[in-house]
Amino acid sequence: MSSRTVIRGGLVVTASDETHADVLIEDGRIAALAASATPAADAFTADRTIDATGKYVIPGGVDVHTHMELPFGGTFASDTFETGTRAAAWGGTTTIVDFAVQSVGHSLREGLDAWHAKAEGNCAIDYGFHMIVSDVNQETLKEMDLLVEEGVTSFKQFMAYPGVFYSDDGQILRAMQRSAENGGLIMMHAENGIAIDVLVEQALARGETDPRYHGEVRKALLEAEATHRAIRLAQVAGAPLYVVHVSAAEAVAELARARDEGLNVFGETCPQYLFLSTDNLAEPDFEGAKYVCSTPLRPREHQARLWRGLRTNDLQVVSTDHCPFCFTGQKELGRGDFSKIPNGLPGVENRMDLLHQAVLDGHISRRRWIEIACATPARMFGLYPKKGTIAPGADADVVIYDPHAEQVMSAETHHMNVDYSAYEGRRVTGRVETVLSRGEPVITEREYTGRAGHGAYTPRSTCQYLT
Ligand SMILES: NC(=O)NCCC(=O)O
Ligand SMILES: [Zn+2]
Ligand SMILES: [Zn+2]
């Protein structure tokens, strides 16, 4: 039986437009938009009406960098696909793209199957997968072609974490050459991990064991150097490149230079680099461990360059790199040795709100908010226009957003399965009120009305952002 919902009276904000319009949803998709209070809109009939007067009607967020249940440093990221996707919905995100992991000595297929098994039947919102390639060999390269065909069209490689996820330059070049042929997009963790490991060893030998040394050894110059090297390897391979979790001003400069040269090089940053800094890493009593992630938080001065990059489109996407570890029992593994603190921050629930606050603070425009958090990530990873916009034919992944509601971020009230908030006590204006995923209410006026298993695996086409 056909079901129809109409959202009336809101300001519909997409990456390209802001219009007071009513939105008609039919069978899980956007059926039509019409200017509010006009005969065309009044003609919309529906089983359910949502009053969005005074609110924004925005596309559901697309977070293309999450790590639910990631094994790391002898433990696992604390959000499962069930808890993590529920929290994402609370924060106005309706699609995640998570990272399936190939372990060294195993195939891509084994890794992908394992991640499908973790996610299937458990997600509240739609999801797709990138593939972490940890072991580039002839078989892996062939498998990359098959994965692209079946909708896993992006591959993460690491210039960091020697002995775990690390690929050397030859392996990176080979994977890039393959992606130049098969249409895949290489996502790069750009830090010189070999040099960093030397600095880690030297710091520990000097007795520098506190969390703040994590930030000191993972130098901005070593992020910039790796970013430069990745760009030039991609150029030699004739492949596009997407650099993940960019945090250093010097790395943004490398991306900007390459883009000025006309290369298909893209960059993502994350809220933690825009809103947090080495001040957090230096918090006493081991509290700084809460902020250990890689690339690391940087001194506050880097933030202005990141915001500028977002405005000038030298950075195109803000995703979360959501990779939560509880302070108790997980981050504590690194007491007395910062290199044993599991790397990662929680944030899947906070991204849309923090970026809305950035609109209010004058860093970005309202449409740019939607562009970097919804539309471009969808385009970059082959999900557009099904995801990332509000237009006829798109999935009805829609958020009713109250731009005036005040909230204080806190672990007391968040829904992520982690015992601290990286933004504890931060006041922001703006809050998600209602969330639809393919027309189904997941959050209804700040009550969870979704269900594990509603979220569907979403195969992706290749990158739609190439020039
Ligand atoms: N970023 C981080 O610290 N943890 C997750 C793994 C990664 O993205 O490198
Ligand atoms: Zn990474
Ligand atoms: Zn990550």
Distance CA 290, CA 346 (A): 9
**CA 404 to centroid of ligand 3, rounded, Å:** 32
151 in Cβ contact with 460 (< 8 Å): yes
Residue whose C-alpha is closest to residue 402's, from 10, 3, 74: 10
Residue whose C-alpha is closest to residue 364's, from 376, 355, 374, 373: 355
pLDDT in tens, 299-325: 999 999 999 999 999 999 999 999 999
67 in Cβ contact with 322 (< 8 Å): yes
Ranges under pLDDT 50 in the chain: none
Q: What is the pLDDT of residue 443?
A: 98
Q: Which two tokens stand for residue 368?
A: 């740019």
Q: What is the pLDDT of residue 466?
A: 97
Residue whose C-alpha is closest to residue 466's, from 380, 387, 376: 380
Question: Is beta strand 398-408 parallel, antiparallel or unpaired with respect to 427-437?
Answer: antiparallel
**CB-ligand 1 contact for 193 (6 Å cutoff):** no
Q: What is the pLDDT of residue 83?
A: 98
pLDDT in tens, 321-360: 999 999 999 999 999 999 999 999 999 999 999 999 999 9
Q: Which two tokens stand for residue 353?
A: 């709100």
**CB-ligand 1 contact for 160 (6 Å cutoff):** no
**CB-ligand 1 contact for 59 (6 Å cutoff):** no
DSSP state of 315: S
State whether ipTM is beyond 0.95. Answer: yes
Residue 243 neighbours by CB under 8 Å, 6+ apart: 187, 188, 190, 227, 230, 251, 255, 265, 266, 267, 268
Considering every ligand atom, which ligand is closest to the CA of 64?
Answer: 3
**CB-ligand 1 contact for 293 (6 Å cutoff):** yes
- What is the distance of C-alpha 431 from the center of its chain? 19
326 in Cβ contact with 419 (< 8 Å): yes
Rounded to two decimals, the pTM is 0.98
Mutation test residue for ligand 1: of 196, 281, 323, 339, the one with most atoms within 8 Å of CB: 323
Rg of the chain (C-alpha set): 21
Q: What is the pLDDT of residue 2?
A: 76
Distance CA 459, CA 116 (A): 12
**CB-ligand 1 contact for 130 (6 Å cutoff):** no
- Other Cβ atoms closer than 10 A to 457: 13
Axis-axis angle for helices 108-119, 138-149 (nearest 10) = 40
**CB-ligand 1 contact for 344 (6 Å cutoff):** yes
Q: What is each CA distance from 140 to 122, 158, 175, 230, 233, in whole angstroms?
A: 28, 15, 9, 20, 19
Nearest CA to ligand 1 atom 2: 344
Q: What is the pLDDT of residue 1?
A: 59
- Other Cβ atoms closer than 10 A to 138: 8
Mutation test residue for ligand 1: of 67, 75, 130, the one with most atoms within 8 Å of CB: 67
